[in-house]
Amino acid sequence: MTITNDIKYIGVNDHDVDLFEGQYDVPLGMAYNSYVILDDKIAVFDTVDIHFGEEWLSNLEAALNGKTPDYLIVQHMEPDHSANIKTFVDKYPQAEIVGNAKTFQMMDQFFSFEGETNRKEVKNGETLSLGKHELTFVFAPMVHWPEVMVTYDSTDKVLFSADAFGKFGANDVEDPEGWACEARRYYFGIVGKFGPQAQKLLKAAADLDIQIICPLHGPVLSENLEYYLNIYNTWSSYEPEDEGVLIAYTSVYGNTKKAVEILAQKLEEKGCPKVAVCDLARDDWAENVEDAFRYSKMVLATTTYNADIFPFMREFLDHLKERSYKNRTIGLIENGTWAPTAAKTMMKILEEFKGLTFIDTTVTIRSAVSEENIAALDQMADELCAK
């Protein structure tokens, strides 16, 4: 695939991965992107997952058309991109590996090379000329590992953005939900904890004239870049993307679920712009996390369990805490037959989050939803719908 006259796509699609990074369900598969710039000097950007070494090398060979590469630029050492570095070095021992001090430290932890390897260590802001193309390396630590750097090609105005602007899903299948859904799930799952670092990268990118973004996952972005930059700014600044309420619940026998359904219906009747509901025991955990960040308000509904809260709710709150969930409005629903304490427990956990506002009404169900509960849910819906 040709991206510009000199830049070719040489990545691969993975439809066999069961869990990406060991934990993310990827029903549309995954793409491991790699690129090559053909100039006086030839630079390859990153390798691919371990299972696709042969296919990647064959894509590279086809793009090279008999030439040999001069550089392998390693922007990220996570094995979905770095696993074939040794394969590359074995095949093209004369090529220089370009990375920073942290890149090489990690490379020596992942690989045992026979003999010396050709290495070019770069500093933040350093440039590399390929002839016509001038590359600038911009360090982007913790987007998503500490060694990450992105690369700007000022000639074709391309940002090679590493994990940033990536998404779940292979590139050879159409995503029926468009770019944002799986990009959001990917961002909050994988990079969500590192909002300030992503903001720093966006600030550096704001000074560049970018026409094309080449991420390490998902499609190459070449149109309407303002949209992608803006949505990344919203996500990484922890601002809600949409006005709406996520109701995240667990339910053992269906009584808490019934309260959730009543609340969802009331919210819709009262004109809440968007109501999303997730069953924390059954729905995809990364989708639930994504929705929590997407909407401005969230209601947590769970049972008291072993004098604590139901395990799926605890796990959900752990995911949110890890990712610095903040700046949202929260309501609580608890259920308990003899000693309901779930709301108190959730509140204690949430006290450690920043910028949360709690609505006045907390609903306590004792076993099954009562008439008083329905009235309280109505009150809760009013408070959630208030501006």
CB of 78 to ligand FEO, least distance (A): 4
- Of 377, 371, 355, the closest CA to residue 249 belongs to 377
Query: Under DSSP, is residue 27 helix (H, G, I), strand (E, B) or coil?
Result: coil
Tokens of residue 343, six digits: 């709301």
Q: Closest residue (Cβ) to ligand FEO? A: 78
Q: Kindly state the helix (H) or strand (E) to which residue 15 belongs, with its residue range.
A: none
Q: Does the footprint of ligand FEO cover residue 49 (CB under 6 A)?
A: no
Nearest to ligand FEO of 51, 326 (CB atom): 51
Nearest to ligand FEO of 76, 319 (CB atom): 76
329-335 and 308-309 as β-strands: parallel, antiparallel, unpaired? unpaired
Among 7, 9, 72, 81, binds ligand FEO (CB under 6 A): 81
Taking CB under 6 A as the binding criterion, the range among 74-82, 252-260, 265-273, 350-358 that sits at the site for ligand FEO is 74-82
Query: Under DSSP, is residue 234 helix (H, G, I), strand (E, B) or coil?
Result: helix
CB of 216 to ligand FEO, least distance (A): 5
Among 39, 46, 78, 96, binds ligand FEO (CB under 6 A): 78
Taking CB under 6 A as the binding criterion, the range among 77-85, 172-180, 277-285, 326-334 that sits at the site for ligand FEO is 77-85
Q: How many residues bind ligand FEO (CB under 6 A)?
A: 8
CB 284 within 8 A of CB 317: no
Q: Kindly state the helix (H) or strand (E) to which residue 213 belongs, with its residue range.
A: strand 212-215
Site for ligand FEO in 119-158 (CB under 6 A): 144
Q: Which residue, chain included where needed, has tokens 């000329």?
A: 129
Answer left, alpha or beta for residue 224, where phi above 0 means left and psi between -120 and 50 means alpha: left
CB of 113 to ligand FEO, least distance (A): 22
CB of 175 to ligand FEO, least distance (A): 17
**Ranges of H-type helices in the chain:** 53-64, 79-82, 85-91, 101-110, 178-186, 195-206, 225-236, 255-269, 285-294, 311-322, 342-350, 371-385
Among 49, 80, 153, 175, binds ligand FEO (CB under 6 A): 80
Nearest to ligand FEO of 98, 346 (CB atom): 98
Site for ligand FEO in 364-383 (CB under 6 A): none
Nearest to ligand FEO of 13, 251 (CB atom): 13
Backbone angles phi, psi at 109, to 5 degrees: -80, -35
Q: Does the footprint of ligand FEO cover residue 185 (CB under 6 A)?
A: no
- Of 71, 128, 68, the closest CA to residue 96 belongs to 71
Nearest to ligand FEO of 69, 215 (CB atom): 215
Nearest to ligand FEO of 24, 353 (CB atom): 24
24-25 and 7-9 as β-strands: parallel, antiparallel, unpaired? unpaired
Nearest to ligand FEO of 72, 343 (CB atom): 72
Nearest to ligand FEO of 48, 128 (CB atom): 48
**What is the C-alpha to C-alpha distance for residues 379 and 374, in angstroms, rounded to an integer?**
9
Tokens of residue 117, six digits: 């390897």
Q: Does the footprint of ligand FEO cover residue 76 (CB under 6 A)?
A: yes
Q: What does DSSP assign to residue 240? A: -
CB 77 within 8 A of CB 103: yes
Nearest to ligand FEO of 8, 217 (CB atom): 217
CB of 42 to ligand FEO, least distance (A): 23
Site for ligand FEO in 193-252 (CB under 6 A): 216-217
Query: Under DSSP, is residue 340 helix (H, G, I), strand (E, B) or coil?
Result: coil
Among 39, 46, 163, 175, binds ligand FEO (CB under 6 A): 163
CB of 116 to ligand FEO, least distance (A): 27
Q: What does DSSP assign to residue 52? A: G
Nearest to ligand FEO of 6, 175 (CB atom): 175
- Of 132, 58, 47, the closest CA to residue 98 belongs to 47
Interacting residues toward ligand FEO by CB under 6 A: 76, 78, 80-81, 144, 163, 216-217
